Amino acid sequence: MNSYVNTAVGALLGTVFVLMSVSIASEGIFHSEKPEKEGFAIVAEEASTGGGEAAPAAAVPIAQLLAKADAKAGETVFKKCQACHDATKGGPNKVGPGLYGLVDRPIAAHEGFAYSSAMKDFSKGGSEKWTFDHLNHFLAAPKKYVAGTAMGFAGLPKDTDRANVILYLHTLADSPVPLPDPNAPDSATQ
C-alpha cells in the first residue's frame, strides 16, 4: 500500500476513535434520568376527516350541567383560554376572538376577527348562534365539532369543567340570556 493511503486511513480511524471517545465521555458526564412524571403533557388530537358537526354525544344535557355549575370555578378553568382570548368588554382580539357577550352571539361574527372558512361555513352565514349546546359540544372537542377550525385547543373533556366555563362565559355580558330550564325536555338545544 501507498504511504499516503496508510496515512489517510490512519487519520480516518484516529478521528473516528476520538469522536467515539468524546461521545461516550459526554454521555457519561451529561446523562440525565427521565422524570417519573412529565411536567405538562400537551394533548393534540388529529382533525377528523368526516364532515363538520361530528360531535361527541353529550351524556348529560347542558341544561342539567349548568344547574350545578359554578361560575367562579369556570373563571379558574378559563385561565387556559386567556392566552388566546380576551374576555373583557371591548377587549382586543388575540389569536382568537374576544369572548365578552359570547353566549347567544352569532357564530363567526365578532367584529374585527378573521375566522377560518370552516367556522364561517359552520355559522351558516351568521344564522347559527353560540347556544349553550353549541358551546358544550365545541368546548368538548373543537376540531371534531367544527372540522377544519383554526382553534388549536384540544378541548375540555370533563363535563363539569365545560359547564363551569360556559356559566362563566354566560356572566360576561351586559344582559345575560336566561339559562335553560334543566327540567324542560328540549332544554339541551337552548
What is the residue-averaged pLDDT of the chain? 84
Taking CA atoms, 76 is separated from 103, 128, 171, 172, in Å, by 18, 28, 14, 14
Its sign, for the CA torsion 92, 107, 81, 36, is negative
Say which residues have a Cβ less than 8 Å from residue 19's Cβ, sequence separation at least 6: none
Its sign, for the CA torsion 110, 104, 145, 79, is positive
Taking CA atoms, 128 is separated from 18, 96, 107, in Å, by 68, 19, 6
- Better-scored residue on pLDDT, 33 or 165: 165
> Looking at residues 154-177, what average pLDDT do you find?
91
Q: Three cell numbers at 40?
A: 405538562
- Better-scored residue on pLDDT, 139 or 39: 139
**pLDDT band at residue 43, thresholds of 50, 70 and 90?**
low
Alpha-helix runs per DSSP H in the chain = 3-30, 62-67, 71-77, 117-122, 132-140, 142-145, 159-171
Q: Which of 57-61, 139-143, 149-153 has the lowest mean pLDDT?
A: 57-61
> Looking at residues 147-160, what average pLDDT do you find?
89
At residue 146's C-alpha, the angle toward residues 155 and 119, to 5°, is 115
What's this model's pTM, rounded to 2 decimal places? Answer: 0.66
**pLDDT band at residue 50, thresholds of 50, 70 and 90?**
very low
Asked if pLDDT for residue 53 goes beyond 50, the answer is no
Which tens digit of pLDDT belongs to each residue from 84-126? Answer: 999 999 888 999 999 999 999 999 988 889 999 999 999 998 8
> Looking at residues 129-141, what average pLDDT do you find?
92
